[in-house]
Structures are given as C-alpha cells and as structure tokens.
Amino acid sequence: SWEGGTRVTRSEFVVVANRLPVDRVVAEDGTASWRRSPGGLVSAIAPVMRSRKGTWIGWHGAPDEVLEPFDEDGMHLVPVKQTAEEVELYYEGFSNATLWPLYHDVIAPPVYDRAMWDAYVRVNQRFAEAAAEVAADGAIVWIQDYQLQLVPKMLRELRPDVRIGFFLHIPFPPLELFWQLPWRRRILEGLLGADLVGFQLPGAASNFVRLCRRLLDARYLKQDVFWDDRIVRARAFPISVDVHELRKLVARPEVRERAEEIRTDLGDATIFLGVDRLDYTKGIAQRLQAFGELFEDGNLKPGQAVFVQIATPSRERVEQYQLLREQIEQQVGRINGTHGELGFPVIHYLHTSYDRAELAALYLAADVMVVTPLRDGMNLVAKEYVACRDDMRGTLVLSEFAGAAAELKRAYQVNPYDIDGLKETLLTALNAEPMEQARRMRSMRKRVIEHDVDRWAHDFLAELEQPHNL
C-alpha cells in the first residue's frame, strides 16, 4: 500500500497522472537529478498546476525507489512508487503494449495478458489510495490518461465526497475495436466513477457513450450517461499548448540567434522538421519514405533540402518500440546512403530530447513542419509550431488522423498512408509563396492563441465544478 500518508499536506486541487512532470535520473557515478518528463500530458498540465498551486500525484520514473513528497518548479509533487515488476507489467505491459495500440487503431497488435491486467488493477488501486489521502474534504481531483482508467471508481469508493474529473489524452476507440478487450466492462465502469469524463474530440465522447449503452445497458441522453444514481458527463475538450511560454521563448534574442545558427549550420538548405517521441503512431517511417522518394524523383537535391528528425527515446523496453527504432534507423541509413553526398546528408536524425529553448529555435528555423501521425489524440507539436511562428512564415503539413486537424484547418492536411499524396503535399508546402504562408499561419495562430492550454483547463474545470445532480 501507499507509504508516507502522515506527512502529506491535504490539497483542494489534486492532479493524478502516471508520471510526475519530472523524472529522476541517476548518472553512472550515482548522482541523482531531475529531468522534465517526456510527452504532451506534462507539457499541458504543468502550467495549470503552477497557477492553481495544487498537488500532483505520480510516478517519478525510477523503479523500486520510494520517495518523499517534494516541491519542484512551483509544484507540490507526491511520488507513487512502482516496483520493477509493476513497471514491466502495468506500465510497459498493460498501459503501453495493450491499451496504447488498442486505442490507436491497433496500428500494432495489442497484447492481452492476465498478469498485466492484474498489475494494472493493483497500481491503479495504489494511485486511488494516494489520491484519497491527499485530497481535502470536497476537493477537486483530476485524473489523467489511459494508465489510470480504474482510478475514478476506486477513488469514489474511498472518498465519495470529492469531485472527480478524468481526461483521456489519447483517442478513445470505436466500439468495434474496444470490444476486443477482455476487461472491457471493468474499464468502462472504472471511468464511470468520474463526474466528468473528458476527451480530445466529440467523436471520442460519442464512442464512449455508445459503449456504455451497448456494453453496460446504461441509459443516456446526448452525452450524459445515467449510472449508479448519478449523471456522468462525457464531453470534448481539445487540449492545447502554453502559448504564453512559447511566445516568451521565441522573443528571446538568443533563441532567434540559435535559429539563425541552425540554418547556417545546415548550409541554408530548406529545412523539413519532425519532432516526436519515437513512437509507431507518429508515422515517422511514412514521412521519411516520402521525403526520400522526392530525391529519387529528382524533385529535391542534396544540399538544397534537409530533413531534421528529432526523436525522443520512449518506452524503450517495449518490443514494438525496439522494432520501430531498428526500422527507422535502417531507413535513415538507407536514404542517406542512397541520396546523400559528401557533406550533405539528406536526413539528420537525432535520437534525443531537447530543452524548450532549443525546440523553439528549431521550430523557428523550419520551413516545413511535418506532423504525420497514423493516429494521435491531439498532437501538441503541431500547435507548438504554430504558436512559435510569430513571423507568419513556415508551413505545417498535418495528418488528418491527428486530433489537431479538426482545429488547424489551414494546415496542409494529408493522409499519411498515401505516400504519393504525402510527396505532393510536401512539395506544395515547400513551394508556398510567403503571402500564402502568412495567410494560413495567421488563421491557425488565431485558433491556437484563442484556445490555449489555460482555456482548456479552465473549460474542463468549470464544467467539473458545475453541479449536475439527478
């Protein structure tokens, strides 16, 4: 069970997520330090937490280690431990080898394993207990993402007085796919413990309501589900980026200088940019394939155009991620080997994570931002790019399968499965006149600036705080 209860300060606002916003990293010489955790969830929740002065409950990224609550970067953090076995079965297993592929259109085959499920239940219970200890009377508890779908129900059983919100950062699959899951009822019942279940898109909320009806025989009206003498609201809240932070970053002279330096270092070639966690949902292979073929066809020449692909290491012990890494690295080698020239590789592939300032400089330097997921709940990289381009330059190539496509209508939208279409779109984006770039960028910026992450959090929490009794 959860340790450290007596030392805990109770909080009116509690966020529960699998990960804390910082990971504990221990160097070879044994010195430990903190590093920002990867992914869109942390990018979105951290600014909200700082302004609400709440408590964040999550895992600190180091197996077996038990840590005391601490403060970091203006946030109060409560670490929840995971044993090495739980990391394997709950995090790498049920979360990332079962739910992740199932919820992303089964791009990779989901693993259905009972030991993984048992660990998922156990770790969810631990998070629920931690939340129950930390939450003040009548507190708002906001549970995040697919790793913790059982927590709403478990927490309600422990603490019926608190108000429970849940937000799913990834897609919610259609009934036909969800049906595969051997534990499908348990997951749905888990989510129905919340007062408000938030999704990125209205379609996901509809999938959820339809499932409640078909699987649990629940009554519903529009997007309200009647369950256990309560109303559970399903709603869409498209997540966004911290526009204020990004604008401040790109206003810094050293960031603009760095962008210039990147351009010079790349020989003033046209820059195509990809920034992703190294994940098979991101369509990295498709975009590199299309880019490589443009050299084969003679539409691009080495030295004139380069692709910079930054890929953050992610979930490295999960088999599908190992396969993906091999595939991408072979592909990069093949394309560079075939089309590069001395001093002019056509792809710069960096398997690493960058700090926010370097990322902003890269966004500023890029002529064409290439975001081609095969399925993505939202994709914050696309919105970050738009938020950074206050010079009204640059073009965004964006997959129709990213949640962001619903808002960024002026992006050059593509079907990443269609390699010819992708090639054509890369060229169109590359050749867009400055006037056309500005016209599109202005319209996309308007959307992102008006719908930033503060508004997302505000809309969700305002809905959660509204009384909705039967």
Minimum CB separation of residue 243 from ligand ADP in Å reads: 13
In the bound state with ligand ADP, the residue whose beta carbon lies nearer, of 42 and 119, is 42
Does residue 407 touch ligand ADP according to CB under 6 A? Answer: no
Please give the residues from 121 up to 140 whose contact with ligand F6P meets the rule CB under 6 A. Answer: none
Q: What are the Cα distances from residue 76, in Å, to 58, 60, 68, 325?
A: 11, 13, 11, 35
Please give the residues from 312 up to 351 whose contact with ligand F6P meets the rule CB under 6 A. Answer: 314-315
Does residue 183 touch ligand ADP according to CB under 6 A? Answer: no
Please give the residues from 427 up to 446 whose contact with ligand ADP meets the rule CB under 6 A. Answer: none
The 355-394 contact track toward ligand ADP, x by CB under 6 A, reads ----x------------------xxxx--x----------
Choose the one of ligand F6P, ligand ADP, none that binds residue 276, judging by a C-beta under 5 to 8 angstroms depending on kind.
ligand ADP
Q: Which of 354, 357, 393, 406 binds ligand ADP (CB under 6 A)?
A: 354
Structural contact between residues 38 and 381, judged by C-beta atoms closer than 8 angstroms: no
Minimum CB separation of residue 404 from ligand ADP in Å reads: 8
> Quick check: is 376 catalytic?
yes
Structural contact between residues 223 and 197, judged by C-beta atoms closer than 8 angstroms: no
Please give the residues from 276 up to 315 whose contact with ligand ADP meets the rule CB under 6 A. Answer: 276-277, 310, 312
Please give the residues from 247 up to 276 whose contact with ligand ADP meets the rule CB under 6 A. Answer: 275-276
Does residue 238 touch ligand ADP according to CB under 6 A? Answer: no
In the bound state with ligand ADP, the residue whose beta carbon lies nearer, of 11 and 395, is 395
- Ranked by CB distance to ligand F6P, the top (closest) residue is 39
In the bound state with ligand F6P, the residue whose beta carbon lies nearer, of 41 and 285, is 41
In the bound state with ligand F6P, the residue whose beta carbon lies nearer, of 19 and 410, is 19
- Cβ-based neighbour number of residue 68 at 10 Å: 11
Please give the residues from 32 up to 91 whose contact with ligand F6P meets the rule CB under 6 A. Answer: 38-41
* Tokens encoding 356: 């926010």
Minimum CB separation of residue 159 from ligand ADP in Å reads: 29
Does residue 19 touch ligand F6P according to CB under 6 A? Answer: yes
Report residue 454 CA to chain centroid gap: 17
Measure the CA dihedral 143/86/284/176, to 10°.
-70
Residue among 60, 169, 339, 451 flagged as catalytic:
169
Choose the one of ligand F6P, ligand ADP, none that binds residue 270, judging by a C-beta under 5 to 8 angstroms depending on kind.
none
What residue type is 226 in one-letter code?
F
Does residue 325 touch ligand ADP according to CB under 6 A? Answer: no
> Given the rule CB under 6 A, which of 37-45, 155-163, 177-185, 325-333 is the region that contacts ligand ADP?
37-45
> Rounded to whole angstroms, how far apart are CA atoms 344 and 262?
15
Minimum CB separation of residue 404 from ligand F6P in Å reads: 13
Minimum CB separation of residue 75 from ligand F6P in Å reads: 15
Residue among 242, 376, 451, 452 flagged as catalytic:
376
Minimum CB separation of residue 95 from ligand F6P in Å reads: 7
In the bound state with ligand ADP, the residue whose beta carbon lies nearer, of 155 and 285, is 285
Please give the residues from 185 up to 204 whose contact with ligand F6P meets the rule CB under 6 A. Answer: none
Report residue 421 CA to chain centroid gap: 26
Residues acting as catalytic residues: 169, 376
Interacting residues toward ligand ADP by CB under 6 A: 38-40, 43, 275-277, 310, 312, 353-354, 359, 378-381, 384
Interacting residues toward ligand F6P by CB under 6 A: 19, 38-41, 145, 169-170, 314-315
